[in-house]
Amino acid sequence: MILLNLLHIRHALTVAKTGSLSSAAKVLLIAAPNISRSIKELENELGITIFERTQNGMVLTPDGEEFISFASGIIRHIDDVEKFYKTGAKRKQKFSVSVPRACYISEAFANFSKTLSKDAIEIFYKETNSQRTLHNLQNRDYKLGIIRYAKNYDKYFTAMLEEKGFVYELITEFTYSIIMSKDCPLAKKENISFNDLTDYIEIAHADPYVPSVPLSKVVKEELPDNIHRRIFIFERASQFDLLSTNPETFMWVSPVPQATLDRYGLVQKKCRDNKKIYKDVLIFEQGYKLTELDKQFVKELNKTKNFT
């Protein structure tokens, strides 16, 4: 059994943050050799090399990056426990979810926020890709997650989820729609094909992910080369600002509620050539018991998914 020294872990985290033993020593107000000794003992206990010692300082190894990720979560939770019991603070309700960038999910979250009581509460809502959502849950930064993937990759994702000990439940299946400004020429077409999109600017994400599948293959499927102009934006509000301002732009999305389209002056269309089916899947760790807040969010999600 590995018995880790919390002081050693804190030393390693400080070195990772500052990049050198001398800088860490100034922050921690202890001698650099003592910090170096702590890290050596930690590495020996774990059987890994956390840092590569270089002329430019202490550089994390791949094992070190993984360890620091876990260690950050451990120390954060320990600090929370100490703060709670030392201050005698009233226990806050907490809710956290990591999700894909999707309007029907954000609308469910907005409706969920209207149901909150007056009690103390902390809520975290993160829009990101499936890989980061999995990391967020494994690191216990978030309790619930929603991942999105193409249905043809179902076996890769279910195998990975089962291996990592996640419970998973299908929320919805859909084909992507296209949204664009009401002033875009595409908005006036009854039937849109892939060829119709060639001369327009696609707003896209650059972070597709499928476990055990080469990134190059996934990117080729998700970002085909028939589009010559793309703008990569990871923040949804900026995507919608650009769509509503530039009539040459379009974006592939899970179906969007009409109220959101009206708010930004957008039009939603289907592409007759697009037959690919995607899945949004709710995930959480085995053994985790859904709270009343979790159940309320899922309830709102089930209402808004009808848009898809």
Q: How many CB atoms neighbour CB 100 within 10 A?
A: 20
Question: What local confidence, expressed as pLDDT, does residue 214 receive?
Answer: 67
- 283 within domain boundaries: yes
Question: Tens digit of pLDDT for each residue in 131-167?
Answer: 889 989 988 889 999 999 999 999 999 999 999 999 9
What's the whole-number mean pLDDT along residues 167-186?
Answer: 94
Distance CA 165, CA 158 (A): 10
pLDDT at 45 over 80: yes
User: For residue 73, what pLDDT band results from cuts at 50, 70 and 90?
Assistant: confident
CATH of the domain at 169: 3.40.190.10
Of 77 and 156, the one with more pLDDT:
156
Whether 168 and 285 share a structural domain: yes
* pLDDT band, very low/low/confident/very high, at 250 (cuts 50, 70, 90): very high
Read off the tokens for 112.
Answer: 């969920």
Q: Under DSSP, is residue 127 helix (H, G, I), strand (E, B) or coil?
A: strand
Contact 264, 187 (CB under 8 A): no
Q: What is the Cα 245 distance to its own chain's centre?
A: 27
Residues 169 and 283 in one domain: yes
Q: Across residues 60-79, what is the average pLDDT?
A: 88
Same-domain pairing of 50 and 110: no
At 1, is the pLDDT very low, low, confident or very high (cuts 50, 70, 90)?
A: very low
Residue 306 has pLDDT above 80, yes or no: no
| pLDDT recorded at residue 146 | 97
Q: In this predicted structure, what is the pLDDT of residue 75?
A: 87
One domain for residues 260 and 187:
yes
Shared domain for 169 and 286, answered yes or no, is yes
The reply to whether 70 and 215 lie within a common domain is no
Answer whether residue 192 shows pLDDT above 70. yes
Q: Is 193 found in the same domain as 144?
A: no
Are 166 and 284 contacting, i.e. CB atoms less than 8 angstroms apart? yes
Confidence of residue 269 (pLDDT cuts 50, 70, 90): very high
Q: Identify the sign of the CA torsion 242, 244, 246, 251.
A: positive
Question: 60: which 2 tokens?
Answer: 């994390």
Provide the pLDDT confidence category of residue 225 given band limits of 50, 70 and 90: confident
Instruction: Give dist(CA 186, CA 203) in Å, integer.
Output: 15
Average pLDDT over residues 188-212: 84
Percent of the chain with pLDDT over 70: 90
229-254: average pLDDT = 92
In this prediction, residues 63-67 reach a mean pLDDT of 91
| 147 C-beta neighbours (distance < 10 Å), count | 26
Query: What is the DSSP secondary-structure string of 208-251?
Result: ---TTS-HHHHHHHHS-TT--EEEE---HHHHHHHHHH-TTEEE
Mean pLDDT across the chain: 88
Q: Could you give the CA distance from residue 274 to residue 112 in angstroms, rounded to a whole number?
A: 32
Please check the confidence at residue 107 and state whether its pLDDT lies above 90. Answer: yes
Last residue of a domain, one of 66, 87, 108: 87
What value does the mean pLDDT take over residues 299-306? Answer: 88
Strand 249-253 and strand 177-181: pairing?
antiparallel
Domain assignment of residue 126, yes or no: yes
* CA trace torsion 223, 229, 233, 234 (10° rounding): 0
Q: What is the pTM of this model?
A: 0.68
Domain count, the chain: 3
Assess if residue 1 is contained within a domain.
no
User: Whole domain around residue 287: which residue ranges?
Assistant: 93-173+279-307
Residue 177: strand, helix, or coil: strand
In a domain, 76, yes or no: yes
Same domain assignment for residues 62 and 211: no
Whether residue 114 is predicted with pLDDT greater than 50 in this model: the reply is yes
Give the range with max mean pLDDT: 4-8, 227-231, 246-250: 246-250
Joined tokens for residue 141: 């930064």
pLDDT band for position 212 (50/70/90)? low
Among 77-81, 90-94, 141-145, top mean pLDDT goes to: 141-145
Residues 35 and 61 in one domain: yes
Please indicate, yes or no, whether residues 58 and 104 belong to a single structural domain of this protein: no
In a domain, 255, yes or no: yes
